[in-house]
Amino acid sequence: MTDEMEDLNDTYPGAGNFTFGDNPRLCAELLALVRSGRKTATCAALADFDDDPGAMPKVGRADIAMNWDGSPALVIRTVKLTEIRFCDVPEDLALKEGEDASFESWRKNHERYFKRNGGFDPEMMLLFEEFELVEDLATR
């Protein structure tokens, strides 16, 4: 563990580490959206947490978003969690992800993402996490 990670674990006890997206380009784009304030939510297939329930975000907990190379990028704090079927996601919640200009593009892009990462079903359960940016580690 690096000194920076040790310091972060001391500052944010219990914080989990995660990476946005499923490739380096997407990870960088999503981190930039969080930094800009456009991205205040993210979602994952609820089934992704079956094998590691401790990785599930918790309201009030700070977590560390990592760069693709594994170095820490941002600290976010979960403010709200919503379990919802993909087909029931409302436009306002989807657009909090900040990635798409329209609800239709959000649906198409997320369907492709889930197909790449374990499968897609319109009835699949998602975990939506709304968060606030606590610290941008690039400015440390």
For the stretch 88-138, pLDDT in tens is 999 999 999 999 889 999 999 999 999 999 999 999 999 999 999 999 998
Q: Where are the domains of the chain?
A: 3-132
Instruction: Provide the token pair at 116.
Output: 């790449």
Question: What fold characterizes domain 3-132?
Answer: Sulfate adenylyltransferase (3.10.400)
130 in Cβ contact with 78 (< 8 Å): yes
Model confidence over 7-46: pLDDT tens digits?
998 999 999 999 999 999 999 999 999 999 999 999 999 9
pTM for the full predicted model: 0.94
What CA–CA distance (Å, rounded) separates 133 from 36? 10
